[in-house]
């Protein structure tokens, strides 16, 4: 059930009943669909073990894959961090001051006895203070003491998609992922501005380790804390095992169609080779979709051409929506122009590379 988080009467305002209903559902141990600036999350009270277990169940996600816990921003996220995390290294403090609220998740040492199920049993915890005003309205409401109800310190929320599938960037995407759970309350906060999941930095290894690239680039992270980043590969080379992270599985973010990455020249050559007839036995529908930054030509009706924005942030904003739209054409193949090999494109390139990796 999609509920608008805004009222559009005289200007835009929060719909207080919608925010209240979401907070009430979370206090009661239920799941909700929650808008954030990156992607929509499937949220539950992070300190309610039963509710958190229901997230794993609904997503079909293995219970040892840790979830991100979202905290309120009124004090810069500090009280939420103090509730869930133990010692916070100074470089992590600097990253919080620089980027919170925002699309950055920090992995910190977990305080004993809190958030164990959300953390997938690890002794660390992923914390994020999201910037989306609707997410913040809910998180702040949950921190207000309500008679007879416990304070909720944080909301555990993975992306609101089935395990391994494309993350949702609209409330409608969430509804289609969980169509068999029609009573799931989904707060509609509009399309997500960033469009890909948060940058994840592991702060438990003595130096910042980039676990997942996102809108906040590795260069920005390094500049904000004055420390060079270590890659998970370098960690392993030092004999330290990299932490388990489902967003870092090789195959992830997969649409139904087979995704392939190619450079612009290879794409145009493939189109020229195909000529007008892609598959004579196929019906009138589209069989291949192309998503490229450069303009390409084809004379085949069965090929859908779509242009990728040339700005990395704009491309990230629409990426998952476009993958869903192309998938909805029921094409068998989605051929994508390989994004530029620059830091600004790291997040988009990472998601596309995973989408192009076979599941098996």
Residues at the site binding ligand TXA, with contacts judged by CB under 6 A: 36, 38-39, 41, 65-68, 105, 107, 119, 122, 124-126, 128, 130, 157-159, 197-198, 200, 211-212, 243, 245-248
- Buried b or exposed e, range 203-218, using 16+ CB within 10 angstroms: bbbeebbbbbbbbbbb
Angle, vertex CA 63, rays to CA 57 and CA 67, nearest 5: 95
> What are 77's two structure tokens?
């996220």
Find the part of the chain contacting Mg ion (CB under 5 A) among 1-9, 154-162, 278-286, 300-308: 154-162
φ, ψ (nearest 5 deg) of residue 7: -110, 135
Closer CB to ligand TXA, 195 or 339, in the complex: 195
- Minimal distance in Å, beta carbon 341 to ligand TXA? 23
Say whether the peptide bond before residue 101 is cis (omega within 30 degrees of 0).
yes
Rounded CA separation 52/29 (Å): 9
319 binds, among Mg ion, ligand TXA, none (CB under 5 to 8 A by kind): none
- Minimal distance in Å, beta carbon 172 to ligand TXA? 16
Closer CB to ligand TXA, 62 or 275, in the complex: 62
Find the part of the chain contacting Mg ion (CB under 5 A) among 155-163, 201-209, 259-267, 324-332: 155-163
In this structure, are residues 96 and 106 in contact, taking their beta carbons and an 8 Å threshold? Answer: yes
Rounded CA separation 264/255 (Å): 22
Cα-based distances in Å from 343 to 222, 231, 261, 285, 346 = 12, 14, 18, 37, 5
> What are 293's two structure tokens?
């930054």
Closer CB to ligand TXA, 36 or 292, in the complex: 36
Closer CB to ligand TXA, 199 or 338, in the complex: 199
Closer CB to ligand TXA, 124 or 298, in the complex: 124
Q: From residue 157 to residue 176, what is the string marking binding to Mg ion with x (rule CB under 5 A)?
A: --x-----------------
Rounded CA separation 165/207 (Å): 31
350 binds, among Mg ion, ligand TXA, none (CB under 5 to 8 A by kind): none
**Interface positions with Mg ion (CB under 5 A):** 159
């Amino acid at each position: 059930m999609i509920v608008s988080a805004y009222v559009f009467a005289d200007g835009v305002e929060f719909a207080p009943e919608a925010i209240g209903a979401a907070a009430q559902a979370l206090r009661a141990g239920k799941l909700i669909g929650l808008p954030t600036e990156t992607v929509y999350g499937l949220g539950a009270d992070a300190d309610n073990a039963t509710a958190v277990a229901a997230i794993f169940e609904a997503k079909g996600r293995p219970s040892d894959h840790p979830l991100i816990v979202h905290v309120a921003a009124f004090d810069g996220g500090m009280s939420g961090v103090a509730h869930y995390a133990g010692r916070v290294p100074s470089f992590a403090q600097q990253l919080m001051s620089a980027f919170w609220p925002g699309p950055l998740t920090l992995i910190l040492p977990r305080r004993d006895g809190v958030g164990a199920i959300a953390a997938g049993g690890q002794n660390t915890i992923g914390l994020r203070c999201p910037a989306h005003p609707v997410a913040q309205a809910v998180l702040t409401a949950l921190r207000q003491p309500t008679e007879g109800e416990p304070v909720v310190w944080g909301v555990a929320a993975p992306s609101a998609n089935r395990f391994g599938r494309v993350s949702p960037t609209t409330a409608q995407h969430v509804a289609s992922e969980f169509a068999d759970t029609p009573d799931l309350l989904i707060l509609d906060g509009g399309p997500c501005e960033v469009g890909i999941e948060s940058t994840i930095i592991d702060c438990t290894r003595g130096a910042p380790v980039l676990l997942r690239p996102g809108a906040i680039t590795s260069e920005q992270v390094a500049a904000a804390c004055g420390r060079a980043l270590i890659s998970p590969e370098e960690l392993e080379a030092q004999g330290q095992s990299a932490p388990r992270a489902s967003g870092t599985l090789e195959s992830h973010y997969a649409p139904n169609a087979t995704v392939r990455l190619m450079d612009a020249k290879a794409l145009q050559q493939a189109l020229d080779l195909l000529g007008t007839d892609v598959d004579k036995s196929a019906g009138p529908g589209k069989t291949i979709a192309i998503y490229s930054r450069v303009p390409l030509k084809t004379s085949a009706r069965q090929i859908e051409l779509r242009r990728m924005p040339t700005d990395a942030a704009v491309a990230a904003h629409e990426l998952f929506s476009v993958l869903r739209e192309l998938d909805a054409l029921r094409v068998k193949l989605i051929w994508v122009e390989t994004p530029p090999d620059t830091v600004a494109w790291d997040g988009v390139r990472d998601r596309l590379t995973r989408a192009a990796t076979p599941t098996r």
